[in-house]
Structure 1
Amino acid sequence: MDIVQLDRAAVLESVRIVESAGPADWDRPTPCSRWTLRRLVEHMGAQHLGFAAASRGEGAGAAVWETRPAGDDPAARYREAADAVLEAFAEPGVLERRFALPEIDAAATFAAATAIGFHFIDYLVHSWDAAASLGMRTAFPPDVVEAALPIALRVPGGERRERPGAAFRPALPCDEGAEGDRADTFRLVLSALGRSPDWSPPHGS
């Protein structure tokens, strides 16, 4: 699969997981520190809309990246945002464009394949964040997980990951010998991006 297809698989899996949440689930804790499931899903929707705007050459303005309240039906609002980015990335010629992504580097633009790669790895991990919050498992095809690992390993480390609100925390140690099947490869992806693969909601949540 090319990067657009990989991204589509990650986004559709995130939709499946978010749409499984019920009214009592939105205040659940998530692996994203201090974020409830509602806050996580609002962030995910905002990023979809920001990337959709960036694909049209409209990503430089801060307003297109703003997180907005999801209202009474966060899952429906999330599906609308997911549909918007999938439609934007499916446009003919999208891979020939450059994206402004001010949250990554306000002074640069990125080749479309690189930008969509950022989006892909983000939604692979955020799908897991939401699934972990709900006590679910993700269901990514093996080729999607395998494609994610080299991208995850290329994400820069350093002080950027220590900042409050960083998309990815510092990498966690993981048994590199575990690589071999899909579940173990996904653990490597998560660990490389600062997620503990064994995270579960605090007792009583």
Structure 2
Amino acid sequence: MADLTSSMARQVLGAAAAGVSDVVRLLPPGATDEVWSRPTPCADWDLRTLLNHLTVEHLWVPRLLAAETLAEVGDDYDGDMLGSDPPAAWEDAITRSLLAWAQVDDETVPIQMSFGPVTRHEYAQQMVVDLVVHGWDLARAAGLPYDPSPAAVQEALDYERPRLEGGQGWPGIFGQALPAPEDSTDLLDEALALTGRDPRWGR
């Protein structure tokens, strides 16, 4: 199998992460419980829960890329990992994650996920989707602007379109795909709709 060390997903991970970080940095300093408890486009998740999810996702990355098993990681990241400074917790997690990705020399190596094995290449693709979509979720919940990397949005679409056409989805993670608004030509709107989101949420 060919080495995929220069895959597009790997190339755009940093840009996708930067879109999220830009939103997190705009959150008001010392944000109150009122801010953190705001609803998000993710059913049953408030703003803090959503940022905690993203942070935990990237705390896992270095250990999975290092071939640790789910059992070895165990419950190390269960519960709230944001502490008293959520933006700092996010920045620490995403920095560690991107450093780990930078050291990957073969994307064909399989890793074990909760739903089964995937290659590092597909793991990177899933991370891009997660960052692009949840960046929008965070921004909408907080009432902040969101300007994702066009290349990251395109990569998310390139991964999601064939999955949906093949009848695959994200059970328990993203909602059922929706049709994109007919009056929109925005690729982000399409990506959001493919993951069960109404791009008009919160407008």
Is this a same-fold pair by TM over 0.5?
Answer: yes
> Do the aligned partners of residues 176 and 100 (structure 1) sit closer, same or farther apart at CA in structure 2, a change above 3 Å counting?
farther
Work out whether residues 81 and 89 of structure 2, in 8 Å CA contact, stay in contact via their aligned partners in 1. Answer: no
How far apart are residue 13 of structure 1 and its match? 1.4
Q: Which residue of 1 is the match for residue 150 of structure 2? A: 142
Question: Aligned pair 1:120/2:131, yes or no?
Answer: no
Assess if the C-alpha contact under 8 Å between 1:50 and 1:59 holds in 2: no
Contact 2:59/2:96 (8 A) holds in 1:
yes
**Structure-to-structure mapping, 1:91-130, within 5 angstroms:** 91-102=103-114, 104-105=115-116, 109-130=117-138
Which string of whole-angstrom CA distances, capped at 9 and with x for unpartnered residues, describes residues 119-162 of structure 1? 1101111101101111123212322222221212234557863x
2:200 to 193, 198, 202: 198
Q: Which residue identity does 1:21 align to in structure 2?
A: L
- Matched position secondary structure for 2:107: helix
Q: Decide whether the 8 Å contact of 1:43 with 1:67 is kept in 2.
A: no
List gaps (5 residues or longer) in structure 1.
Answer: none
Aligned length: 189
User: TM-score, length-normalised on structure 1?
Assistant: 0.82
Deviation of residue 98 (structure 1)? 2.0
CA shift for structure 1 position 51: 2.2
Q: Are positions 1:46 and 2:28 aligned together?
A: no
Secondary structure of 2:131's aligned partner: helix
1:188 correspondence with 2:190: yes
Report % sequence identity: 26
Structure-1 separation of matches of 2:10 and 2:169: 30
Take 2:9 and 2:196, find their aligned partners in 1: how far apart are those partners?
A: 23
Distance 1:59 1:4, change over 3 A: farther
Runs of 4+ aligned structure 1 residues displaced above 6 Å come to: none
Give the TM-score normalised by the residue count of structure 2.
Answer: 0.83
Indicate whether 1:37 and 2:36 are aligned. Answer: no
| Unmatched segments (≥5 aa) in structure 2 | 1-6
Hey, what does 2:99 align to over in structure 1?
87
- Tell me the equivalent position of 2:21: 15
- RMSD after superposition: 2.3
